[in-house]
């Protein structure tokens, strides 16, 4: 096994044991980026010289005093919405051409303090306003979408071009590309990881979180990045999880939705996810049927919040330089200007009611298990999907549909790979819990992951 193939946990163990140096690891990952990036388009920018210099520093520090923690000397990437001092934050948009971050975002600051090595910035759908990330190709099939908006981060991790990466999630933008590329993605509880220095899409829905090869890796990154930051008005001094036990799931109740989450889902996705849920039962969990509350309002609430908030942020540049936006994003931003204050307030009221209803639902279960997305990665350029009931749905609506509830309610949501369809494309299962029970979803995900040890973690991509 080459160093770029190691998970974060494996790489950290090897670095700690002095079996692998940060320089060797970083050189291996950079060589992998050079070998596959031309076909994938995961990166907006790679800073190879700076990464190698950081790896040299990390190696010296570890040699002198031992590692600061598991991220010390580990190469990673940041979604190109997340500021890193001295580097451009373009949001993959011509609107931000020439923009250079003056200081680190809170997340970059914490990762730097942990000793992580920054490889570069990964592509996003322009300003994170989409579920495709058209600049980037799926790691498993280059003719298919990567998912979005953290598509570059997911593909980099899936292809071995980063040991882990950070993304953002407003309606599934971590979980969708993670599921479509066969990696792990975590949307933490709203407010648990600060968004200071992160270009917003929708302030009341935005989250920052990791994309990794394993659930255990995601837990390590969460421990390093979570915690209150007074500069972020949404940041909360909630509990920062630092213990993520594995083992069996005896005494744990897993909710299985009887409505919404398995509606309009392709059969192969449903079969894989239901099989994974049965595996949780084999590990000792009790399966409990649950009704998803206010299901018919989810899409309206998601769009009713996101669209006007996004337009408010872009109001000035949309007036001054509208032609610099891509057509799909510009249309959505212009549509937001037509949303009335009354509609926005009704969406906020409905969100409050939905949070309360989900809180009551979680009184009967510890975790909710469901598909992450209703279908695997579609062909690039495909705009709609037809369902067995005769309805037609936009691809972007389909991908956001099962992820949006966790953004509206702010609950933690983890996606992890649980199989492949007949075309060999990855399928993801989503685990959710009540707010600040991030450790619970990670515990369940880790137990499942360990029970199917040996599954492939990297896309079968030849150098």
Instruction: Give the separation between CA 367 and CA 160, rounded to whole angstroms.
Output: 31
What the block records as the tokens of 227 is: 């915690």
User: Could you tell me whether strands 117-122 and 75-79 are parallel, antiparallel, or unpaired per DSSP bridges?
Assistant: parallel
The DSSP letter of residue 4 is: G
> Please, are residues 169 and 125 in contact by the beta-carbon 8 Å criterion?
no
> Please, are residues 175 and 187 in contact by the beta-carbon 8 Å criterion?
yes
> Please, are residues 309 and 203 in contact by the beta-carbon 8 Å criterion?
yes
Instruction: Give the separation between CA 222 and CA 210, rounded to whole angstroms.
Output: 7
| Cα angle, residue 173 at apex, residues 259 and 363 outer, rounded to 5° | 40
Residue 144 CB contacts under 8 Å (≥ 6 apart), including other chains: 137, 138, 180, 377, 378, 379, 380, 425
The DSSP letter of residue 33 is: H
Helix, strand or coil for residue 432?
A: strand
Annotated catalytic residues are 79, 149, 173
- Give residue for tokens 């409050």: 352
What the block records as the tokens of 411 is: 């609950």
What is the dihedral sign for C-alpha 296, 300, 305, 307? Answer: positive
Element housing 60 (H / E):
helix 48-65
The DSSP letter of residue 424 is: S
> Please, are residues 170 and 153 in contact by the beta-carbon 8 Å criterion?
no
> Please, are residues 159 and 36 in contact by the beta-carbon 8 Å criterion?
yes
Residue 278 CB contacts under 8 Å (≥ 6 apart), including other chains: none
Helix, strand or coil for residue 124?
A: coil
Element housing 207 (H / E):
strand 207-212
Q: Which residues of 228-237 are buried (b: 16+ CB within 10 A; e: fewer)?
A: ebeebeebbe
Task: Return left, alpha or beta for 209; rule: phi > 0 is left, psi -120 to 50 is alpha, else beta.
Answer: beta
DSSP string, 140-176: S-TTBB--SSSHHHHHHHHHTS-SEEEEEESSSTTHH
């Amino acid at each position: 096994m080459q160093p770029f193939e190691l998970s974060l946990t494996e790489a950290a163990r090897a670095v700690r044991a002095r079996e692998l140096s940060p320089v060797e690891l970083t050189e291996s990952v950079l060589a992998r980026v050079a070998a596959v990036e031309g076909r994938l388009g995961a990166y907006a920018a790679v800073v190879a010289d700076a990464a190698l210099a950081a790896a040299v520093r990390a190696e010296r520090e570890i040699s002198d005093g031992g590692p600061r923690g598991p991220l010390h000397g580990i190469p990673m990437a940041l979604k190109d919405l997340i500021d890193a001092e001295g580097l451009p934050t373009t949001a993959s948009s011509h609107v931000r051409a020439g923009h250079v971050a003056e200081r680190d975002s809170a997340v970059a600051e914490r990762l730097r303090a942990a000793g992580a090595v920054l490889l570069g910035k990964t592509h996003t759908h322009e300003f994170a306003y989409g579920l495709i990330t058209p600049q980037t190709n799926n790691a498993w099939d280059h003719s298919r979408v990567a998912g979005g908006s953290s598509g570059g981060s997911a593909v980099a991790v899936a292809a071995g071009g980063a040991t882990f990466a950070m993304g953002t999630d407003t309606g599934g933008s971590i979980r969708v590309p993670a599921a479509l590329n066969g990696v792990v993605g975590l949307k933490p509880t709203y407010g648990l990881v600060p968004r200071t220095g992160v270009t917003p899409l929708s302030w009341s829905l935005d989250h920052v979180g990791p994309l990794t090869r394993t659930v255990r890796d995601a837990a390590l990154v969460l421990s390093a990045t979570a915690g209150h930051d007074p500069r972020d008005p949404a940041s909360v001094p909630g509990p920062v999880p630092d213990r993520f036990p594995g083992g069996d799931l005896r005494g744990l109740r897993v909710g299985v939705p009887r409505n919404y989450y398995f509606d309009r889902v392709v059969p192969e996705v449903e079969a894989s996810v239901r099989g994974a849920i049965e595996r949780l039962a084999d590990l000792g969990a009790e399966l409990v049927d649950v009704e998803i509350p206010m299901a018919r309002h989810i899409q309206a609430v998601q769009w009713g919040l996101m669209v006007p908030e996004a337009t408010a942020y872009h109001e000035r540049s949309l007036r001054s330089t509208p032609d610099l936006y891509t057509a799909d994003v510009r249309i959505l931003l212009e549509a937001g200007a037509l949303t009335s204050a009354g509609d926005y307030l009704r969406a906020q009221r409905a969100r409050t009611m939905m949070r309360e209803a989900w809180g009551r639902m979680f009184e009967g279960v510890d975790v909710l298990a469901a598909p992450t997305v209703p279908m695997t990665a579609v062909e690039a350029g495909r705009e709609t999907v037809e369902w067995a009931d005769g309805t037609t749905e936009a691809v972007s609506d389909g991908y956001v549909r099962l992820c949006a509830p966790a953004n509206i309610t702010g609950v933690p949501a983890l996606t992890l790979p649980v199989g492949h369809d007949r075309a060999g494309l990855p399928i993801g299962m989503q685990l959710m819990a009540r707010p600040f029970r991030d450790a619970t979803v990670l515990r369940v995900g880790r137990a499942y992951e360990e029970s199917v040890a040996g599954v492939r973690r990297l896309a079968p991509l030849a150098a």
